[in-house]
Amino acid sequence: MDATISVICFKSKTLANGEHPLMLRITKDRKRTMKSLGITVHPDNWDFDRNEPKNKCPNRKYIQQIIFKVKSEYQTKVLEKSAYAEEYTAASLLHETDHTPIKSETVDNFYLQIIDRLKREGTIGNAYAYQNSYNVLRNFNENKPLNFPFNQIDELFLNRFESWLRSKGNKETTMSFQMRTLRAMFNRAIKAKVVAKEKNPFVDYKVSKFSTKTPKRALCKSDTLKLIQADYSKRSRDFQLAQDVFVFSYLCGGIAFVDIANLTPANIIDGRLVYNRQKTHGAINIPLSEQAVSIIAKYEEYCTYSGYLFPILDQRRHTTPLQKKNRIHKVCRQVNLTLKKIANELGIKMPVTTYVARHSFATVLKKSGVNIGIISEALGHQSLKTTQIYLDSFENSQIDEAMKNLL
């Protein structure tokens, strides 16, 4: 049964001047809800039979315009609900329409607008994540444009999307990423008034159900030392850079490749490496060992004209966020391919990547008996924020002492 929309003079409430407030009344399934229009009328000026102002009412035309506008807005919403066979209550209809009117926007257009804006703003990481999400959804939609409103992304849609992802052999971590990204885009749509927040399917569909735990990939201390002590001084630049990046990361608190790429001389202060992580923006302050300093010294000449400590980025060539991201991705891929070759040569069975250095840093210190509070279990595994909270709570001297266990 469709809702009925009316405006009444609420006699149950009388103001000091003897007037009553005009109220919007929505009735559905014998349940009513009301909302003040912010207008008051004296009972002598209101026709209670017709629910409209009398001819003698001051500001009669203005009041009629307000009533017409409000009733039209809610009656249109009722027709839309009826057309799409959407369930609603009097209260939900009132709350849904109680804000800025919902804009007419397809999922396809909104995704592309957000991606374009993020690229122009230089937020390349988020732009890439949303682009990936958009491409996957297009694939799910039989490679057709997503020409439907956000309110059609309901719990049933999400369950079908999940089943499709599983049928393609995706892992739990991948499915979690896809659902979290779609949830983030849905939240953007709510904020932009493209969809009502009452339509958010993620209230009932829990992304947390996916298991995002991944196997810990860390080298034992003996294998790590093999890689550190190997002599690649006469090998190609690719081999030298791959070894240097791995060793530097291991010796410098498991610093991520993207952070290594962005290091400049300004990040070295009084013999310490001081920087903010690109991913979490958390502040890091760790000591530079002699070996780490010697690795930096190898690339001093490159640094004089590139502006960066390592031969990855060049301030003359890589000036935009997109150029930097593409360059870092390209070099990281090459470094990881070379690290696998190095591992094979050294008889290290585990596939070695730049990220393995981060896990190895945490694992070696943990096995050396270092306080778990300093080297958190969450280091790069489950919660980077938790890791940062742990690290921030200790003095530099405690971290310095702990890092003596690396070699």
Domain ranges within the chain, ordered by starting residue: 4-96, 107-209, 221-405
> So what's the pLDDT on residue 407?
63
**Single-letter amino acid, residue 250:** Y
Using DSSP, state whether 21 is helix, strand or coil.
strand
Tell me which amino acid residue 7 is. Answer: V
CA 218/CA 353 separation, integer angstroms: 10
Residues of the chain with pLDDT under 70: 1, 97-104, 213-216, 365-407
Tell me the angle at which helices 124-140 and 107-121 cross, rounded to the nearest 10 degrees: 160
- What residue type is 390 in one-letter code? Y
Whether residue 244 contacts residue 257, with contact meaning beta carbons closer than 8 Å, is answered with no
Q: Which residues pair with 36 in a beta bridge?
A: 23
| Local structure of 38: helix, strand or coil | strand
User: Phi-psi bin for 27: left (phi > 0), alpha (psi -120 to 50), beta?
Assistant: beta
pLDDT value, residue 361: 77
C-beta separation of 242 from 335 below 8 A? yes
Q: What is the pLDDT of residue 402?
A: 53
Give residue-wise pLDDT tens across range 329-385.
999 999 999 999 999 999 998 889 998 888 787 777 666 665 665 555 334 334 444
Tokens of 120: 């122009």
Check if the beta carbon of residue 154 is closer than 8 Å to that of residue 133.
no
Token look-up 């009533």 returns 67
Intra-chain end-to-end CA distance of the chain, in Å: 75
For 46, phi then psi, to 5°, come to: -125, 135
CA angle 87, 89, 94 (to 5 degrees): 120
pLDDT at 379: 43
Angle at 376 between CA 335 and CA 394, to 5 degrees: 110
On whether the CB atoms of residues 154 and 202 are closer than 8 A, the answer is: no
pLDDT of residue 163: 95
| The domain over range 221-405 is classified in CATH as 1.10.3720.10 | no
For 271, which DSSP code? T
Q: Distance between CA 260 and CA 252 in Å, rounded? A: 10
| pLDDT number for residue 186 | 96
CA distance 217 to 195: 42
Q: Scanning the structure block, which residue is given the tokens 């609900």?
A: 81
In degrees rounded to 5, what are phi and psi of residue 285? -145, 105
**Which tokens is 198 given?**
């009452």
Residue 169 CB: number of other CB atoms within 10 A?
A: 7
